[in-house]
Amino acid sequence: MSASPSRVPSREPNASPKVLVVEDDVLVRLAAADYLRGCGFVVSEAVHVDEAVNILRADSSIDVVFADVRLPGGRSGIDLTLLIQRDYPDVKVLLTSGVMRGEEASFTTAPLIRKPYFLFEVERRIRALLDDTTG
């Protein structure tokens, strides 16, 4: 992959935070995206890592990626997280999984919320990531 793209904020200072939901289960993705929209977030959706990367390239103002660990297409949410940490260091990541092995968890420092989850908990964790100014 090429050099890291520069992130230039492209939204107004008081604009709603942007969240990218990456989930292959359509019902889970739609439920999470709709709930987060109802909470005031601007939400984009992706099914797999390649689609998520295309969205990140096209929209430099994504604030948080909420991604499942298990995704189709040969690359996982862990792969996506490592790519984001390398190429988009200002973007926060929240992972989710119903089945995640310990060795997978050791590849990233991104926080994890276990499935099944309550949507209000996802919102709370995303807001906490947005409020975290330490990195």
18-127: which CATH topology?
Rossmann fold (3.40.50)
pLDDT digits (tens, 9 = 90+) for 36-74: 999 999 999 999 999 999 999 999 999 999 999 999 999
CB neighbour burial string for 19-54, b if at least 16 within 10 angstroms, e if fewer:
bbbbbeeeebbeebbebbeebebbbbbbbbbebbbe
pLDDT of amino acid 14: 74
Structural contact between residues 55 and 46, judged by C-beta atoms closer than 8 angstroms: yes
Q: CA torsion sign, 79 to 125 to 35 to 54?
A: negative
Query: What pTM value is reported for the model?
Result: 0.86
- Domain boundaries in the chain? 18-127
- Angle between the 26-38 and 119-131 helix axes, to the nearest 10 degrees? 60
List all residues 6 or more positions away from 81 whose beta carbon is below 8 Å from its beta carbon: 65, 67, 93, 95, 107, 108, 110
Top-confidence residue, 102 or 3 = 102
The mean pLDDT of the chain is: 87
